[in-house]
């Protein structure tokens, strides 16, 4: 391997990291510290030409491939054991073109927020609330944003992609492509998830001008014994809201201001795209329901996302992550009781859950316009069971707790979100892709007939996890099924 790695290195403007290189260990660390996979080679690409050469090298030497951009893959599929990782950490160029933005695949949302903040033009992307997350993986799975109720998903604001296909061809694809296969491929890349159809190297994003220079942003928290009253009210209240207001939910550990003790609490993070006074009037019903904490700011959305963008990171600790999609008025009394029961019995004090408030402009796009299967969902819950790094002894208790939690909620789910892909998600093809899976598989067979881009839960995989108890945890520790 050392000899062929040296051959590849001579052909690249970037560089190759074999095991033993001092930089190798750093590049195998991702947000979820539970993922400890050791590829045969990491290639730090520095150009599109590097990606093409690396693809051809991998095919020549029969090395399996994964791509790593931001390193926030919930299950760690950006890494692998024994294969080759194409790492985009060196490709982070950003270019403003009027009201659009071209970004390379290694760019993170924090890079874009800082870049646009320096420009001072008031434009915003439909980007991630977790600022350090990579742009490309976020977009390919759909991309929920605090601005999505106003402007749609991130994929609804994606103009074009540059992608390297299984044969090493560079393709610029969009809805306006002249080739039917490219149009189909662009459809699949908008919601079909990362790692399935090629290596994305460049994204062209539509920016938006908010309704006001700043947005009203508020964080509100309640004690858990208020859950039936407050979340029950919220379940119906959000159906009355304008598209400009998004109110995300959160449940987890919080410092009680009265006692300074850590307590289990829930609440909302609300962003209003408009005049602050209008936003205050809209939020007033929440303030009247006895929160023990409320913080209100008037700032740009990128400023807010930069301020709070690390709050939901795993940050190198161990984690197991699950998700669901919930229809309108789906936060029923039974749903809330399940939240309360499980969140009060979490094995780790670091565990938390959040839910996205969807709808609005997301649902104004027709269901077949993109591969994203969950138009019409109102909430997207996500649980992050988090425990201390290197404490392997806590793994089974935390994984089985989180798995049981969302299995109890499953009757309330219409699907699950592929950006929180879960190796223990049963019936995952339907849950992630719904009625779109058949078309996704057909496109996969067109553009990657040899299965160059393959992984455990990739399009066309036959893998299905074993749900018998005790759970088989082996799928959590691999990318490929041999």
CATH number, domain with residue 301: 3.40.462.20
Last residue of a domain, one of 41, 59, 87: 87
pLDDT above 90 for 260: no
Residue 353's nearest CA partner among 319, 317, 391 is 319
The pair of structure tokens assigned to 350 is 């670091």
pLDDT above 80 for 309: no
Q: What is the pLDDT of residues 435-472, one digit of tens each?
A: 999 999 999 999 999 999 999 999 999 999 999 999 99
Q: Are residues 82 and 118 in the same domain?
A: no
Please tell me whether residue 304 adopts helix, strand or coil conformation: helix
Asked whether residue 277 is assigned to any structural domain, the reply reads: yes
Instruction: Look up tokens 């997207």; give the residue.
Output: 380
Q: Are residues 80 and 229 in the same domain?
A: no
Average pLDDT over residues 259-282: 94
Q: What is the pLDDT of residues 35-92, one digit of tens each?
A: 999 999 999 999 999 999 999 999 999 999 999 999 999 999 999 999 999 999 999 9
What pLDDT is stored for residue 273 in this prediction?
Answer: 97
Q: What is the pLDDT of residues 334-348, one digit of tens each?
A: 999 999 999 999 999
Sheet containing 352-357, strands listed edge to edge, beginning at the edge strand earlier in sequence: 293-299, 215-223, 262-272, 245-255, 352-357, 379-387, 318-323
Residue 79's nearest CA partner among 3, 17, 143, 129 is 17
Q: What is the pLDDT of residues 213-227, one digit of tens each?
A: 999 999 999 999 999
The CA distances from residue 86 to 28, 83, 383, in Å, are: 12, 10, 29
Q: Are residues 311 and 246 in the same domain?
A: yes
d(CA 28, CA 39) in angstroms, rounded, equals: 8
d(CA 189, CA 200) in angstroms, rounded, equals: 9
Asked whether residue 457 is assigned to any structural domain, the reply reads: no
Q: Are residues 39 and 117 in the same domain?
A: no
Q: Are residues 156 and 236 in the same domain?
A: no
What pLDDT is stored for residue 142 in this prediction?
Answer: 98
Asked whether residue 471 is assigned to any structural domain, the reply reads: no
CATH number, domain with residue 14: 3.30.43.10
Last residue of a domain, one of 171, 206, 241: 206
- The DSSP bridge pattern shows strands 84-87 and 41-44 to be parallel
Residue 108's nearest CA partner among 90, 129, 87, 92 is 92
Q: Are residues 364 and 288 in the same domain?
A: yes
SS3 of 36-60: the string is: CCCCCEEEECCCHHHHHHHHHHHHH
What pLDDT is stored for residue 390 in this prediction?
Answer: 87
d(CA 305, CA 132) in angstroms, rounded, equals: 10
CB 142 within 8 A of CB 418: yes
Average pLDDT over residues 271-278: 96
Asked whether residue 256 is assigned to any structural domain, the reply reads: yes
Residue 412's nearest CA partner among 338, 321, 362 is 338
d(CA 188, CA 7) in angstroms, rounded, equals: 35
pTM exceeding 0.85: yes
The pair of structure tokens assigned to 316 is 């190198």
Structural domain containing residue 250? 215-428
Q: Are residues 386 and 334 in the same domain?
A: yes
The pair of structure tokens assigned to 453 is 């881009």
Beta bridge partners of 240: none
- What is the count of structural domains for the chain? 3
Average pLDDT over residues 394-421: 98
Q: Are residues 264 and 365 in the same domain?
A: yes
Q: What is the pLDDT of residues 197-248, one digit of tens each?
A: 999 999 999 999 999 999 999 999 999 999 999 999 999 999 999 999 999 9
Asked whether residue 437 is assigned to any structural domain, the reply reads: no
| Beta carbons within 10 angstroms of residue 330's beta carbon | 18
The pair of structure tokens assigned to 258 is 């009265």
Q: Are residues 326 and 343 in the same domain?
A: yes
Asked whether residue 449 is assigned to any structural domain, the reply reads: no
């Amino acid at each position: 391997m050392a000899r062929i790695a040296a051959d590849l290195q001579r052909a690249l403007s970037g560089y190759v990291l074999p095991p033993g290189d001092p930089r190798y260990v750093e590049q195998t660390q991702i947000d979820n510290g539970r993922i400890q996979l050791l590829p045969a080679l990491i290639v730090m690409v520095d150009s599109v030409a590097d990606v093409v050469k690396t693809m051809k090298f991998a095919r020549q030497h029969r090395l399996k491939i994964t791509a790593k951009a931001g390193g926030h893959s919930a299950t760690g599929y950006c890494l692998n054991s024994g294969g080759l990782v194409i790492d985009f950490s060196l490709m982070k160029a950003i270019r403003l073109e009027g009201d659009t933005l071209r970004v390379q695949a290694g760019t993170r949302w924090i890079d874009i927020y800082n870049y646009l903040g320096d420009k001072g033009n008031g434009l915003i992307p439909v980007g991630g609330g977790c600022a350090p997350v990579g742009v490309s993986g976020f977009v390919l799975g759909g991309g929920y944003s605090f601005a999505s109720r106003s402007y749609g998903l991130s994929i609804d604001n994606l103009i074009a992609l540059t992608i390297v296909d299984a044969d090493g061809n560079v393709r610029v694809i969009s809805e306006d492509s002249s080739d039917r296969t490219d149009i189909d491929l662009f459809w699949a890349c908008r919601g079909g998830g990362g790692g399935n159809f090629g290596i994305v190297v460049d994204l062209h994003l539509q920016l938006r001008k908010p309704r006001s220079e700043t947005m009203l942003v508020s964080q509100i928290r309640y004690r858990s014994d208020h859950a039936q009253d407050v979340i029950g009210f919220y379940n119906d209240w959000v159906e009355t809201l304008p598209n400009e207001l998004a109110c995300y939910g959160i449940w987890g550990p919080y410092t009680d201001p009265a006692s300074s003790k850590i307590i289990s609490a829930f609440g909302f993070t609300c962003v209003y795209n408009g005049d602050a006074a209008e936003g205050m009037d809209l939020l007033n019903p929440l303030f009247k329901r006895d929160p023990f904490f409320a913080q209100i700011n008037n700032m740009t959305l990128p400023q807010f996302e930069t301020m709070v963008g690390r709050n939901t990171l795993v940050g190198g600790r161990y984690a197991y992550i699950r998700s669901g999609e919930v229809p309108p008025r789906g936060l029923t009394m039974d749903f809330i009781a399940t939240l309360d029961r499980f969140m009060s019995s979490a094995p780790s004090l670091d565990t938390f859950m959040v839910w996205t408030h969807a709808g609005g402009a997301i649902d104004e796009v027709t269901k077949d316009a993109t591969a994203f299967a969950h138009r019409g969902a109102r909430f997207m819950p996500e649980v992050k069971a988090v425990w201390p790094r290197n404490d392997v002894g806590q793994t089974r208790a935390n994984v089985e707790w989180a798995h049981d939690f969302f299995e109890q909620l499953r009757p309330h789910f219409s699907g699950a979100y592929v950006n929180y892909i879960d190796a223990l998600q049963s019936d995952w093809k339907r849950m992630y892709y719904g009625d779109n899976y058949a078309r996704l598989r057909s496109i996969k067979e067109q553009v990657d007939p040899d299965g160059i881009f393959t992984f455990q839960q990739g399009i066309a995989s036959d893998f299905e996890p074993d749900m018998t108890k005790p759970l088989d945890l082996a799928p959590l520790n691999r990318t490929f099924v041999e």
